[in-house]
Amino acid sequence: MNSKNVLPAFSLFLLALLLLQGCKKEPYMLGLVGYNYTDRAISDFSVNGQWGANLVLSTPTSGGGSTMCCVVMSRDTKTPFWVDVEYKMSALESYPPRKIIEPSAPYRKAKVQVTGPVPADPSYLEIHFYPDGHIEAALSGRDGPSPPRLKLERRLPFVR
């Protein structure tokens, strides 16, 4: 290769290198999944402003809700990190007869730490609401959200 061909080839190489560095990896779009281990329904919850729907009471095989789309997570994110959870508890009722034991609560806010490893293929952000009022968050992979952590029975969707 003579010197006349080296400069254009080297320039093309530098241009390609610069273009490749400008490419950003797309963020993960995580499905949002809630698990309700409390004794009352959660009428509404969100994570970082993304709506997570309502949650009936969990069962031994279901967390009480469905998967909502999407919480955005950078591919560079490392655990632990924090998310903002906002939620509203429904009224505590007895059946039968239908009687309100405790009225619905106002919206509450919590900063929740996401711990544990980041899976090779993060696909879900799980939010777990416990009977004592604390909330835990975890990531799970493409193989699906994890089964409920507590195996609790319920008589009706809104009654333990």
Q: What's the pLDDT at 12?
A: 61
pLDDT (tens digit, 9 = 90+) per residue, 55-99? Answer: 998 988 888 888 999 999 999 999 999 999 999 999 887 777 788
Per-domain residue ranges for the chain? 26-141
Question: What is the mean predicted confidence (pLDDT) over 28-40?
Answer: 94
58-86: b (≥16 Cβ within 10 Å) or e = beeeebbbebbeebebeeeeeeeeebebb
Indicate the pTM of the whole model.
Answer: 0.80
pLDDT tens for residues 17-28? 555 555 668 999
C-alpha–C-alpha distance, residues 125 and 140, integer Å: 7
**Could you give the residue ranges of the DSSP H alpha helices within the chain?**
3-22
Please check the confidence at residue 34 and state whether its pLDDT lies above 70.
Answer: yes
Query: Alpha-carbon torsion 140, 141, 142, 146, what sign?
Result: negative
CATH: 1.10.287, 3.40.50, 2.60.40, 3.40.190. Which one for 26-141?
2.60.40
